[in-house]
Amino acid sequence: MKNTPAKTNAARLLDGLGIIYELRAYEVDPNDLTAISVARKIGLPPEQVFKTLLSQTNMGDHLFAVIPGDAELDLKKLAHAANAKKAELASLKEVEPLTGYIRGGVTVMGARKPFPAYADETIELHDVISISAGQRGLQILLAPADYLRAANATLADLTK
């Protein structure tokens, strides 16, 4: 019998929306939480493994930026997408209190507060993407359109 991972809040949210997905567990290396490392462990190319970054605008509003694992967030493009003058990454100490998730396990779905989410437009180039299930060592694989609907995300050009 296969050991099935426990359902996370993100997985329960998808269940509630009737969205089909796959949970895929992997071995966590606390010294390497990069999306590129996760991609290697779950057998997907890094551009299909999307990382979720908590950001903040100059007005103090928090938002999520969801970008490919092999890309770098362009904060100017994020600010433009969010109609803000400036955006910066939230400090690591803010992430868990604001989202309920720890670094390496952040996801838009089921976050403590429903911050606006912006997903890089390249998300639509793939049949399947992978995002964090809300804990280290567990990814959710699903169709990009289903992710965009579940995360209520706005498409934008977000990468350098």
pLDDT tens digits, 56-92: 999 999 999 999 999 999 999 999 999 999 999 999 9
| Assigned domain for 67 exists | yes
Q: What is the domain range of residue 79?
A: 20-156
Beta strands, E only, 2-107: 22-25, 50-57, 62-68, 87-89
| Assigned domain for 10 exists | no
| Assigned domain for 12 exists | no
How many Å is the Cα radius of gyration of the chain? 15
| Assigned domain for 5 exists | no
CATH code of the domain in which 28 resides: 3.90.960.10
Residue 1 pLDDT exceeds 70: no
| Assigned domain for 6 exists | no
pLDDT band of residue 6 (cuts 50, 70, 90) is: confident
What's the pLDDT tens digit per position in 85-104?
A: 999 999 999 999 999 999 99
Residue 89 structure tokens: 């990454």
Backbone angles phi, psi at 93, to 5 degrees: -70, -20
Number of domain units in the chain:
1
pLDDT, residue 4, reads 61
| Assigned domain for 52 exists | yes
Q: Would you say 68 and 48 are in contact if contact means Cβ atoms under 8 Å apart?
A: yes
